[in-house]
Amino acid sequence: MADRLEVSERTIYRDVDALSAAGVPVYAQRGSSGGIALADGYRRALTYFSEDEVRALFVSGASPLADLGLERGLAQALEKLRGGLASVHQRAADESRSRIHLDQRRWNQPEPPRELLTALRRAVWDDRRLRIRYEDRNRKSTTRTIEPLGLVAKAGVWYLIARSDGEMRSFRVERVASAQKLSERFERPADFDLERYWAESSARFAEASRTADCVVTFRAANDALERVSYYWPAEIVSEGARESTVRVTFPGREVAVFQAIAWSDVATLVEPDELREAIACRARRALERHALR
């Protein structure tokens, strides 16, 4: 190799060391027919990628792996993979990065607690019990010992799936005030499937939410229809020259009242009547509290 490439043998050894450090599976074989070899299937596996498969791998985006402290590992892995691709596939990878970017966070969403997420991720992988201090939605704090089984990111919000007092629970990570990794390990349930658990848990939550849904009919200005129908499920019942009738489904009565008041400059609540009474009562109290004296 040194003769063919017109370099010194030291350079060959140095390059082999560099390839090995970069993750390329090269190794030395002893004997009369030995030498430096590349692991079987390494190049062959890379040639099996189609252009669409390469594009899927290299689409740019703020990966949730960064929240877990794995962003550097992902970047290095992709760079190693890119280096082993054929030139046509390297172009596909570069085009994906420059043409598609995925941002999975909502507007004005706070940054996730990355240091805490890294600690939780390690506890999940090590099967270590945790002692956490957790605050519920009413800011009531409790301390409990849990067995962390997995982490789930939904629209930029992280959840810790864990066993607590023998029951499966989903803890919102941003409400974990502190987490202490304990010395003892736990035995992970052999039949636990994180993806299946989350799908079933999400379905139960959605069903419970539907039973508490509050359907409200508004008369809204046409230039405000996008605002009224942007976030909550909405159906345009009828359209007029200046106003349209819109039916909006909220996840509960209190949310409906809050949103109807926020839209009072562009939309009028038509029904249900009891909600109109609640909004009028809330508005009178607001006037009394904020009236200038």
State the DSSP string of 40-97: TTHHHHHHT--HHHHHHHH-EE--GGGTTT-HHHHHHHHHHHHHTS-HHHHHHHHHHH
Whether residue 166 contacts residue 203, with contact meaning beta carbons closer than 8 Å, is answered with: no
What is the CATH T-level fold of the domain 114-201, as seen in this structure? SH3 type barrels. (2.30.30)
CATH of domain 212-290: 3.30.70
Encode the chain (293 residues) as per-residue pLDDT tens digits: 888 888 898 888 888 888 777 667 787 788 777 788 877 666 666 666 777 888 888 886 666 878 888 878 878 878 877 877 777 778 888 888 888 887 877 777 788 888 999 999 999 999 999 999 999 887 899 999 999 999 999 888 999 999 999 899 999 999 999 999 999 999 999 999 999 999 999 888 877 766 678 899 999 999 888 888 888 888 999 988 899 999 999 888 888 999 899 898 889 999 998 898 988 898 888 888 887 76
Among 93, 10, 7, smallest CA distance to 55 is for 93
Tokens of 144: 């409990």
Tokens of 178: 């502190």
The type of residue at 232 is W
Q: Domain map of the chain by residue range? A: 2-102, 114-201, 212-290
